[in-house]
Amino acid sequence: MDPQKDGILEKIRLLMEHAEGAKDVGNVLEAEAYAAKVHQLLLKYKLTLQEVDLRVEIQQDPVAKESVHLGRNGIKDRTRRVRWLEELAGITARANFCRILVRVGSSAIIFVGRKQNREVAVYLYTYLARQVERISQKEYDREYMRHWPSKTREMFGWKKSFIDGALAAFAERFRSDQSEILSTETSRALVTIEDTAVTDYLKALRLGQAAKFQSSPDFNISGYQSGVKFGRGVQVSQGQLPSGSGTKYIGQGGN
C-alpha cells in the first residue's frame, strides 16, 4: 500500500479504538475528542470509515495462497498446464480480488488473496470448470452426431472454440458487474486497497513469469457461438462482501 495513506489509516484506526475505550469507561468528553479527531482526518485526507474498516479486515484476514487440485473437486487432473483452466481461474480470481499462480507440469492452480475472497473465487472456479468440461463434451458429441457421417470435418476445433466462447461470456459478465461496483469513488478506493494488498504479497514472493501458451488456429465459429450462449446462460448470483468492500460471485446451479 501507499506508506503515507497506510499510516494515516492506521492512525485513524487507533483513534477509533481509543474513542471506543473511552466510551466504554464512561469518559464521554474524551470519546468525543477522539471522534472529532477521526472526523477531522477523514475529511482532510478524503477517506471513509469503510476504508478504515477494510484495513482492519485485511489485518485480521491477511493475504495468503491456497492450492486447488482439480481431482478433489470432481475435475480430471492433468500433468500439464491447461490454458482454458488457467484463463477461467484468472477470471474468477480477479472478480473476487484475488490473483493466481501456476505450476509447471501440473493443472493445479494457486489462488492468492484474503481467505474470504479466496473461498468464493475457488468455489466459483471449480463450479464453472465442472460445468464447462461436462457441457462442452456433451454439446460436442451432440453436434458431431448431427454432422455424421458426411460433414464431420466441420467439427474441427468445435470443442476448443466452445470453451473459448464460454470463457469470453464469463469475462464479459464479470466486467459488466464490476463496472457497476466501481461506480462510486468509495468503492474504487476499497477495491484499490484489496488489489494493492494482493500485489504487495506477490511482489514479496519474487516469482518469475510463467511461459505463455501458443496461439491455436483451430477456430470454429459454430462452437464459439454455442459456448457464448452457454456462458451467458449459466446462473451466477452476487453476494455482498463485508463492509461494503465489493461483490462476490457465487454459482447457483446451471445446465
Question: Which string of DSSP letters, residue by residue, matches 80-112?
Answer: S--HHHHHHHHHHHHHTT-EEEE-TT---EEEE
Answer yes or no: do 78 and 43 share one domain. Answer: no
Q: What pLDDT is stored for residue 116 in this prediction?
A: 86
CB-based burial, 184-212: b 16+ in 10 Å, e otherwise = eeebebbbebbeebbeebeeeeeeeeeee
Q: How far apart, in whole angstroms, are the C-alpha atoms of residue 74 and residue 76?
A: 7
In a domain, 239, yes or no: yes
In this predicted model, which residue has the larger pLDDT, 249 or 95?
Answer: 95
Binned at pLDDT 50, 70 and 90, residue 3 comes out as low
- Co-location of 208 and 118 in the same domain: yes
For 89-140, the pLDDT digits (tens) are: 999 999 888 999 998 888 889 999 999 889 999 999 999 999 999 999 999 9
Strand order in the sheet with 63-68: 63-68, 109-114, 99-102
What pLDDT score was predicted for residue 131? 93
User: How many domains does one find in the chain?
Assistant: 2
2, 119: one domain: no
Q: Which of 207, 208, 210, 209 is nearest to 105 (CA)?
A: 210
Co-location of 77 and 26 in the same domain: no
The 10s digit of each residue's pLDDT in 171-191 is 999 888 777 777 667 677 777
Whether 157 and 103 map to the same domain: the answer is yes
16 and 127 inside one domain = no
Q: What is the pLDDT, as a whole number, of residue 246?
A: 42
Summary count for the chain: helices (H), strands (E) = 8, 5
Q: Please tell me whether residues 8 and 70 are part of one structural domain.
A: no
> Taking a C-beta distance cutoff of 8 angstroms, is the pair 247, 239 a contact?
yes
Same domain, 38 and 106: no
Q: What is the pLDDT of residues 45-89, one digit of tens each?
A: 777 777 777 777 777 778 999 999 888 778 888 889 999 999 999
Q: Greater confidence, 151 or 167?
A: 167
Does pLDDT of 168 surpass 80? yes
Q: What tens digit of pLDDT does each residue of 196-209 get?
A: 889 888 888 888 77
Q: Tell me whether residue 57 is in a domain.
A: no
Same domain, 30 and 149: no
pLDDT of 243: 40
Give yes or no: residues 35 and 83 share one domain: no
Mean of pLDDT over the chain: 82
Q: What is the pLDDT of residue 254?
A: 38
Residue 42's domain comprises 1-47
Residues 39 and 99 both lie in one domain:
no
| Other residues' Cβ atoms within 10 Å of the Cβ of residue 8 | 18
Same-domain status, 93 and 154: yes
pTM, rounded to two decimals: 0.73
List of residues 6+ apart from 152 with CB closer than 8 A: 144
Please say whether the beta carbons of 242 and 57 come within 8 A: yes
What is the pLDDT, as a whole number, of residue 100? Answer: 95
What average pLDDT does range 232-251 have in this prediction? 53
